[in-house]
Amino acid sequence: DAKTTQPNSMESNEEEPVHLPCNHSTISGTDYIHWYRQLPSQGPEYVIHGLTSNVNNRMASLAIAEDRKSSTLILHRATLRDAAVYYCILRDLNSGGSNYKLTFGKGTLLTVNP
Amino acid sequence: NAGVTQTPKFRILKIGQSMTLQCTQDMNHNYMYWYRQDPGMGLKLIYYSVGAGITDKGEVPNGYNVSRSTTEDFPLRLELAAPSQTSVYFCASSYYSPGGYTFGSGTRLTVV
């Protein structure tokens, strides 16, 4: 599986934007970039995914570098509810049975200060 | 919509006992998955299913069994529980790749 690298932790203030980086220098052309988050004592929650173009949804935006070797999850206005572990995950849909697997690393622990 | 429902939420088992973790989804998703998460670690895939009657092993299947007789249900069976199976278990489902997964709230299992 192609690997991702994320900072262990980040801190933000409430109502400010947050940019969560992810490096994936060995990404293949068929890897999708997925982001999930996990609030304390809860199951992971899907945030967003993309392949090449930047993506927006009601939760966040995903900015993908032109060479696809890195991406950034953008929370436009952090709230206390956004405090969670954020996981950046690559999924290769051409890898047979293993494409059903989400390989979770340790993610980035985001702390939001009031 | 209930989404993905897991029962029980908590369970303590003695070594050697067996149990079934229940998972039900009401979104008509074809794909379902079982993950475990050890303290401070990421999730690891135990088993997955791409449709009723079809299951396959993930990364850490030893000590577990699954079945998928309906689209909605995907129970996980633990036979002869061991302390190494102490973990939080998450069930998830999805329509198709690369769509997002919907996770349940988890079952916290302790084997003593």
CA distances from B51 to A114, B4, B73 (A): 45, 16, 10
Around Cβ A22, how many Cβ atoms within 10 Å?
24
Token reading at A113: 């200060």
pLDDT digits (tens, 9 = 90+) for A26-37: 998 888 999 999
| Amino acid code (one letter) for B38 | D
Strand partners, B78: B19, B64
Distance from CA of A52 to the nearest CA of B (A): 13
For A108, the closest chain B residue by CA position comes to B42
CB atoms closer than 10 angstroms to residue B80: 10
In the numeric block, which tokens belong to residue B2?
């209930």
Helix, strand, coil fractions of chain B, as percent rounded to 5? 5, 50, 45
B6-52 residue pLDDT tens: 999 999 999 999 999 999 999 999 899 999 999 888 889 999 998 99
pLDDT of residue B1: 63
Contact B45 A101 (CB under 8 A): yes
- Which chain A residue has its CA at the smallest distance from B57's CA? A97
B38, B50 Cβ separation under 8 angstroms: no
With pLDDT > 90 as the criterion, what percentage of chain A qualifies? 74
How large is the average pLDDT for residues A88-102? 71
Helix (H, G, I), strand (E, B), or coil: what is residue A103?
coil
Minimal Cβ distance to B103: which of A44, A99, A101: A44
pLDDT in tens, A4-30: 999 999 999 999 999 999 999 999 888
Of B4, B33, B98, the CB nearest to A93: B98
How far apart are the CA of A18 and the nearest CA of chain B, in angstroms? Answer: 22
Q: Which residues of B touch A99 (CB under 8 A)?
A: 97
What's residue A100's pLDDT?
64
Q: Which of B48, B50, B100 sits opposite A46 (nearest CB)?
A: B100
Contacts of A102 in chain B (CB under 8 A): 35, 43, 45, 101
Helix (H) / strand (E) containing A75 = strand A70-75
B62-to-A71, B65, B78, B81 alpha-carbon distances in Å: 35, 8, 10, 11
